[in-house]
Amino acid sequence: MRMILRSIVSLVVFISLSSASPIARADDRSTVEDKGSGLFEGTRIVGEDRGRSRRSDPPKSRQVTRSSIVEEAIEDIDLLVCDGEPAVHSPYDCPSYVPPPDLDHKTAEQLARRIVVRLQLPKPTPQFGPDPSVNEWNMAAVGYPIWLWTEGVRTVTASESAYGYTFTLRAHYRSTSFEMGDGHTKKCTHTTVYPRSAKPASKSPTCGYTYLEAARDGTYTVTATTHWDVDWSVAGFSGTLPGTHSASRELPVGELQAIVVK
C-alpha cells in the first residue's frame, strides 16, 4: 500500500513541475529586415534576465536603422563641402570633383583663362554729357557734341580658388569702345566726366561723338565695352590675359528744326 501511495505522490509532483512556467532564456530572435543599400529596419530582441517570466517582464527592444548609426558617426567627423552639400568623406566623393592637374606654364594659362571670366569687373554703363534728360527735348541733338565715359574703378584685384589651386588676378583698365548704334564705333583710351562748368556745345578733350543723323525709331542703342589687361599668377607661374566687359543704354537722338519768323 505504501508503495502505491509513493508512486501516486511522485506522479503528482512530476505533473506539477511539468505544468509550471518555463524559466526564461536569452533570446536572439529579431525582426530586422534588410532594405538593401545598407539600410536595415525593424525590432531586435535584446533578451531577458534568467529566472524572469516572459509574461510578467516583456523583453526589451530597440529600433535599429541606418540613419541613427550615421548620426552617431557624423559627430566625430569633420564635414567637407561638396557642391554646397556636406560630404562625410572627402571631395573625391563629389560627382563634379576634378583632381588638380600637374601644372606647367601652358596648363596654368589654360586654367587661368577659365578663371578670368569670374572676375567682377565694373559694369560699363555708357554715360553721356550733357545728359539728354536735362534739356527740354529729352534727347541728344544731331550736330551737338556728346561727351562719353563709363564709371567705376580702373584696377581690380581678386583671388579665386579652383582645380585645387589659388589664382591671384589683377586687372588694369586699358580702353573703352563705344558702339554708337548708327554703325560707328568710338575707341578711347581715356575718358573725361562731363563737368557742370562745361560751356554749351563744347567738345570732350578725350572722348566724344557727334551724331549726323537722327535715330529712325527715336533712339540709338549705345554699347560700351571696356578692355582690360588681367595679370594672373598661380603656383609660381604668371602671365597676362585680355578681359572685356560690356553694357548698353538707350540714347534718344533727334534733329532740331530752326524756324525763322519774319
Instruction: Give the tens place of pLDDT for each residue, 140-174.
Output: 999 999 999 999 999 999 999 888 889 999 999 99
Q: What are phi and psi of 230, to 5 degrees?
A: -110, 110
What average pLDDT does the structure give for the chain? 75
Model pLDDT, residue 47: 43
SS3 call for 122: coil
Per-residue pLDDT tens for 57-80? 444 433 333 333 333 333 333 444
Threshold 0.85, pTM exceeds: no
Model pLDDT, residue 188: 98
% of the chain beyond a pLDDT of 90: 50
C-alpha–C-alpha distance, residues 223 and 247, integer Å: 6
Per-residue pLDDT tens for 113-127? 999 988 999 999 999
Q: Are 94 and 87 in contact (CB under 8 A)?
A: yes
Q: Say yes or no to pLDDT of 136 above 80.
A: yes
